[in-house]
């Protein structure tokens, strides 16, 4: 019998919809660490703005416009020169601390979600924390690679005597989609390895090795991950569309009501994204049980 990842994922989505406690548990652990982190970022952003506001005003930020590519390139360079040092300093100390806290809390929270789905699964917070930290490190590396690609795009298209803002935007879009797709193709390893820790009672190294030896299951996992990538893009587009809905009525909807609408759209986007994250995990578990094969140590 042939089992398609797409078909199984549809059934998993329906099952997760019937069990809202899975989503609520996922939201709980994510927001327990996410809300304080956002508050810290907001405070640091205010501090950076307070320190650099005069320099930003002198950089010509108020005159920024895409209708004048040359001026836009110069102003962007000035803004980058002002903001890069304090933001880099912030990343140096905040990113490692946030990654460690996120890895620990996510291990505990994700374990709770999976045990709510299947109470027979064990608790393995230590191994899950290490694997989650590895995932964060690789994700950070992909973000750095994306930033380097964007920097290269700027040097290529905006560095000459006649900057081409259209070519720059085109390169940014293509590179962003390409890197996003590449991450979707390889990140399934860091999604299935924690599950193998629980499903097969493995350690960190053993679960990572097992991730590459899943036989026909590997193709199904990649298929599910690509579907998740498409869903994420669709959710982003929907969030942008709904965020722009009040714009035709900007004369009647301004200030606090508009900000509340944007906050509501953001919360709904995050909840929908978390829902599909849970669905992906459950789909991986069900596919593993369908395609279970014996593991042979090399």
| 27 part of a folded domain | yes
| 175 part of a folded domain | yes
What single string gives the DSSP state of each residue in 234-279? HHHHHHHHHHHTTGGGTTTS-SHHHHHHHHHHHHHHHHHHHHHHHH
For 73-114, the pLDDT digits (tens) are 777 778 888 888 899 899 999 999 999 999 999 999 999 999
Burial of 271 (0-12, 13-18, 19+ CB in 10 A): middle
Asked whether 180 and 172 are in contact (CB, 8 A), the reply is no
Q: What is the pTM of this model?
A: 0.77
| 118 part of a folded domain | yes
For 115-171, the pLDDT digits (tens) are 999 888 888 888 999 999 998 888 888 888 988 888 888 788 876 667 777 888 888
For 175-202, the pLDDT digits (tens) are 888 888 788 777 778 888 898 899 888 8
Non-local CB neighbours of 168 within 8 Å, separated by 6+ positions: 153, 154, 157, 158
Residue 250 pLDDT level (bands cut at 50, 70, 90): low
Residue 7 has pLDDT above 70, yes or no: no
Structure tokens at 238: 């929907």
Q: Which range marks the domain in which residue 223 is found?
A: 5-290
Q: What is the mean pLDDT of the chain?
A: 83
Structure tokens at 236: 């982003």
Q: Which residues of 78-115 are buried (b: 16+ CB within 10 A; e: fewer)?
A: bbeebbeebeeebeeeeeeebbeebbbbbbebbbbbbe
Number of domains in the chain: 1
- The C-alpha angle 7, 13, 15, rounded to 5 degrees, equals 105
- The C-alpha angle 185, 223, 273, rounded to 5 degrees, equals 80
| 296 part of a folded domain | no
Nearest to 8 by CA among 283, 291, 279: 283
| 123 part of a folded domain | yes
| 161 part of a folded domain | yes
Among the residue ranges 112-116, 244-248, 269-273, the one predicted with the least confidence is 244-248
| 231 part of a folded domain | yes
* C-alpha to C-alpha distance for 234 and 115, rounded to whole angstroms: 29
Residue 1 has pLDDT above 50, yes or no: no
């Amino acid at each position: 019998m042939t089992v398609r990842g797409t078909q199984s994922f549809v059934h998993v989505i329906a099952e997760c919809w019937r069990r809202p406690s899975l989503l609520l548990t996922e939201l709980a652990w994510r927001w327990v660490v996410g809300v304080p982190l956002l508050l810290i970022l907001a405070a640091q952003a205010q501090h950076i703005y307070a320190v650099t506001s005069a320099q930003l005003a002198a950089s010509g930020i108020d005159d920024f416009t895409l209708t004048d590519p040359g001026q836009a390139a110069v102003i962007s360079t000035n803004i980058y020169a002002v903001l890069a040092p304090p933001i880099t300093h912030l990343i140096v100390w905040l990113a490692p601390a946030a990654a460690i806290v996120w890895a620990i809390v996510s291990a505990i929270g994700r374990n709770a979600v999976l045990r709510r789905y299947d109470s027979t699964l064990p608790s393995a917070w230590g191994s899950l924390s290490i694997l989650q930290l590895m995932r964060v490190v690789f994700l950070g590396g992909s973000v750095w690679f994306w930033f380097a690609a964007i920097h290269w795009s700027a040097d290529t298209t905006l560095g000459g005597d006649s900057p081409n803002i259209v070519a720059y935007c085109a390169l940014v879009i293509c590179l962003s989609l390409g890197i996003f797709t590449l991450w979707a193709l390889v990140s399934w390893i860091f999604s299935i390895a924690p599950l193998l820790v629980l499903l097969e009672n493995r350690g960190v190294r053993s679960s990572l090795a097992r991730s590459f030896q899943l036989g026909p299951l590997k193709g199904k996992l990649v298929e599910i991950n690509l579907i998740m990538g498409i869903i994420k893009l669709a959710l982003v587009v929907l969030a942008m569309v709904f965020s722009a809905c009040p714009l035709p009525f900007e004369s009647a909807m301004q200030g606090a009501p508009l900000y509340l609408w944007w906050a509501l759209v953001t919360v709904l986007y995050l909840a929908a994204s978390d829902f599909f994250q849970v669905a992906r995990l459950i789909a991986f578990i069900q596919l593993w049980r369908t395609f279970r094969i014996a593991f042979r140590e090399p």
